[in-house]
Chains A and B, each alone.
Chain A
Amino acid sequence: MKRSEKDTSTDGGSVAPQQSLFETTADVERSRAERYRALIDEYVFAPGRIIWKDWRARIGITITTLFVLIGTVGVELVDRPYAGAGPELVGPFDSAYMTVIFGIPFWEYPLGTDSLGRGVFAQIVHATPAMLEMMFAGAIFSIVLSVVWGLLSGYKGGSVDQVMMAIADIVMTLPALPLVVVLAAILQPTEPWVIGIILVVNRWASFARSLRSEVLKLRHEPYVEASRTIGISTPAIITKDVLPNVMPLIVVNFVSTARNVIMASVGLYFLGLLPNTGFNWGVMMDNAYGQGAIYTKSLFHWFYPPMITIIFLSLGLLLLGQGLDRIFNPRIRARHAEHTRSDDESDAKQDEDVTVPDVQGGI
């Protein structure tokens, strides 16, 4: 934060001898606009610049932005596919079907059509908004719950902590996929955001645990103890002193939860275990698979594009998560300040508490 030249009181320069520490007021009044500019610079531009320097984050942001654009602008540009819209099972990039967009000839069905004559590409595009909704709903739900749980139990300690952690342990033990499948079978959710929440129904618990262990380190920091001593309320300490310190972890976990929601939802739609509502990459795969796409060459263009789409999005989110981790991780950030050359030694150096490898690919 930039201070004006006159303000030297903080380095002990010009405090009048009689002036008590508690009566001192700032010599320089900063205008509201100045304050906001400083805040934006500190929290938006500075991290943004650092993030953009990392190739992982750069690719991750590009891919994620691309999907958001597809889900918002793309659905407006591409017509909603319907059964019988075109001939059945047109191959990809078939030049027999051409259309003209802005004077440029273009394939009418860039990735071909399925057995009902619906364009594969158009289906992929029109499946995106629901996927994004699912992703955000799941990630936000899981983050909010785990932040409340982790910070409160880590900070409070005692029997509150014990009870909260016992509950978290039980929830964590429930196997995610079977739980989701059973809940989906009983509740039959159709709204994307409800599905998103069901998919993370027990994922919050493990992150709450890692947040707690982070808070355990923070609760004895001098500035937190100082706040406690002068009688600041617990909610205020948690939100003002503790939360900002774990914010980086939260951002990284948000991205990885979003990735898990996508992988899990497509997997379950592929199995037909979630009620079929509109277009979805998993449903496309399920339909193609059901017609024998895995041994029929003429169906490949229907089966593999949704698969590649998921891998692409998942890779984007993974790289974004890794890039953010690298930037936010305090140990690594310190190194950024020391020498800016691309230091390989800090690669993939993840916090052991935070990243539990999920071997089965997000489910």
Chain B
Amino acid sequence: MVSTRYFVKRTGMAFLTFYAVISFTFAMIRLMPGSPVDRLRAQLASAGQDPSAVARQVELYASINPEQPLWQQYVDYITSVATGDLGTSTWYNEPVAQILGNAMPWTIFISIVSIILIYLIGITTGAFMAYAEGSRFDVSWSGTSILLTSVPFYVVAVVLLWLLGYNLSLFPTSGHYGSGIEEGFNPQFIWSVIGHGALPIASLVIAGFGIVALQMRGNAIQVLGEDYLRVAQLRALPQRRIALRYVARNAFLPMYTSLMISLGTLFGSSIILEYIFQYPGVGYFMYQSISARDYPLMMGTFLFITAGVIVGVYIADLTYGFIDPRAGGGDREAF
């Protein structure tokens, strides 16, 4: 179980990470060569406004006032981000937090459903492959998994879009749900959401489950050779208990953290996916913001996605103790 000390330490670490990331984005906006603030200022100044008005505008957009001393800019930026003010998008002219708040649920929906499917399919095939080791099933599925793993998910996405979207017209090719459908908890809406999410989810799953299957297969084979499994069999424990408690659990454990981390990376990869499927989630807005040089929205998206990843990894670390009692570190002497 999770000790209080570990909990406190881990929570502190999560906050420290978030603080570091906010500082990092500040440095990127303010100090990087060709910084966004300078460009924003140049953009606004070319409209012929006086300098103090430009500075006010920049502050509105980027939460940074370039006229102030650097430390003051930094403090202001940290406080405004911490209170949820991510500035205003220069392209959409709406608060960044509001745009992203609306886009967020869609990206979460795609990521969570795909990660569940990736691990469900990957673990099942991996376990069967390990069980039927050396059989034709094992060889053919190992080969397929290797092949699928080497295909980038954006390639799968484009092929699916061409085949099922345009050629056979089975699935819609853009948007979250059909136009003219009332948003709410009704069957028509839910069906439409599923239809629009099917292709993005399918491309992540097809390109992603192979590596999980291969890893599960490797882990399961390793577990199958362990002594405690022989002992369990000699004790005549029920087959079901051996399969679930002994093999599945020990083969899956090493992959638990990577599950949570890949949730974060899936979240990040939504840029390419949502661009291809024109699916207005967080990634879609990041793409739009880069094309439009909308730096406040771009930085806001980056912060948003990072916060999502931090939360994911935090949950993984805290729950790991519940799943694997062996986890937990001891102190080491230093040399």
A binding-site residues for B, Cβ under 8 Å: 155-161, 166, 169-170, 173-179, 181-183, 185-188, 216, 219, 228, 234, 263, 266-267, 270-273, 289, 294-295, 307, 310-311, 314-315, 318-319, 322, 344-345, 347-350, 352, 355-363
- Bound form: Cα–Cα A179–B264 in Å: 13
Of residues 2 through 44 on chain B, the ones whose CB sits less than 8 Å from some CB of chain A are 13, 16-17, 20-21, 24, 28, 32-36
- Cβ B32 vs Cβ A186 within 8 A: yes
B154 pairs with A267, CB closer than 8 A = yes
A216 proximity list for chain B (CB < 8 A):
332
Closest to A228 in B: B335
B158 within 8 A of partner (CB): yes
Instruction: Specify which of A175, A181, A289 is in contact with B158 (CB 8 Å cutoff).
Output: A289
- B286 CB within 8 Å of chain A: yes
- Report B-chain residues with C-beta under 8 Å of the C-beta of A181: 271, 286, 290
Question: B151, A361: Cβ atoms under 8 Å?
Answer: yes
Contact, CB under 8 Å: A347 / B142: yes
Q: How far is the CA of A363 from the CA of B155 in the complex (A)?
A: 13
- A-B contacts, 11 listed (Cβ < 8 Å): A159-B334, A166-B13, A170-B20, A175-B302, A177-B269, A270-B272, A295-B166, A315-B146, A359-B208, A359-B265, A363-B152
Given A181-B286, A289-B158, decide whether A363 and B298 contact each other with a Cβ distance below 8 A: no
Q: Is B278 an interface residue (CB 8 A)?
A: no
Q: Are B306 and A175 in contact (CB under 8 A)?
A: yes
> Which residues of A lie under 8 Å from residue B320 when comparing CB positions?
none
Which residues B269-322 have CB closer than 8 A to chain A?
269, 271-272, 275, 286-287, 290-291, 293, 298-299, 301-302, 305-306, 308-310, 313
Residue of A nearest to B146 (CB): A318
Q: B152 contacts which chain A residues (CB < 8 A)?
A: 263, 266-267, 310-311, 314, 361-363
- Contact at A348–B218, with CB atoms within 8 Å? yes
CA distance A183 to B36 in the complex (A): 11
Chain A residues closer than 8 Å to B147, beta-carbon distance: 315
Residues of A close to B262: CB separation below 8 A: 356-360
Q: Which of B20, B24, B142, B301 has the most CB of A within 10 A?
A: B20
Bound form: Cα–Cα A145–B94 in Å: 41
Binds A, one of B45-53, B228-236, B240-248, B253-261: B253-261
Which of B64-72, B181-189, B219-227 has 4 or more CB atoms under 8 Å from chain A?
A: B219-227
**B73 contacts A by Cβ under 8 Å:** no
Q: Are B166 and A188 in contact (CB under 8 A)?
A: no
Q: Is the CB of A360 within 8 A of B153?
A: yes
Q: Chain B residue with minimal CB distance to A234? A: B335
Interface size on B, residues (CB 8 A): 79
A203 to chain B, nearest CB (A): 11
Is residue B57 contacting chain A, with contact meaning CB distance below 8 A?
Answer: no
Which residues from chain B contact A187 at a C-beta distance below 8 Å? 32-34
B116-148 residues at the A interface, CB under 8 angstroms? 118, 133-134, 138, 142, 146-147
Contact residue among B115, B211, B219, B335 (Cβ-Cβ distance under 8 Å from A156): B335
- In the complex, how many angstroms separate the beta carbon of A280 from the nearest chain B beta carbon? 15
Q: Are A350 and B218 in contact (CB under 8 A)?
A: yes
Complexed CA–CA distance, A359 and B208 (Å): 5
CB-based nearest A residue for B314: A173
Which residue from chain A places its CB closest to the CB of B205 in the assembled complex?
Answer: A359
Residues of B close to A183: CB separation below 8 A: 28
A188 to B17 alpha-carbon distance, docked (Å): 27
Contact of B149 among A175, A271, A289, A318 (CB under 8 A): A318
- Bound state CA distance, A289 and B36, in angstroms? 30
Query: When the two chains form their complex, are residues B255 and A357 in contact, meaning their CB atoms are under 8 A apart?
Result: yes
Q: Which 7 A-B pairs have the closest CB atoms?
A: A158-B334, A175-B268, A352-B254, A315-B150, A360-B269, A359-B208, A157-B334
How close is B7's CB to chain A, nearest CB, in angstroms? 16
Picked from A176, A178, A294, A311, the residue with its CB within 8 Å of the CB of B166 is: A294
Return B134 CB to nearest CB of chain A, in Å.
5
B268 and A361 contact, CB distance less than 8 A: no
Closest chain-B Cβ to A187's Cβ sits at a distance in Å of 7
Measured CA separation A345–B131 after assembly (Å):
11
B266: Cβ under 8 A from any A Cβ:
yes
- Smallest CB–CB gap between A38 and chain B, Å? 33
Interchain CB contact under 8 A, B306 and A174: yes
Contact in complex: A178, B208 (CB < 8 Å): no
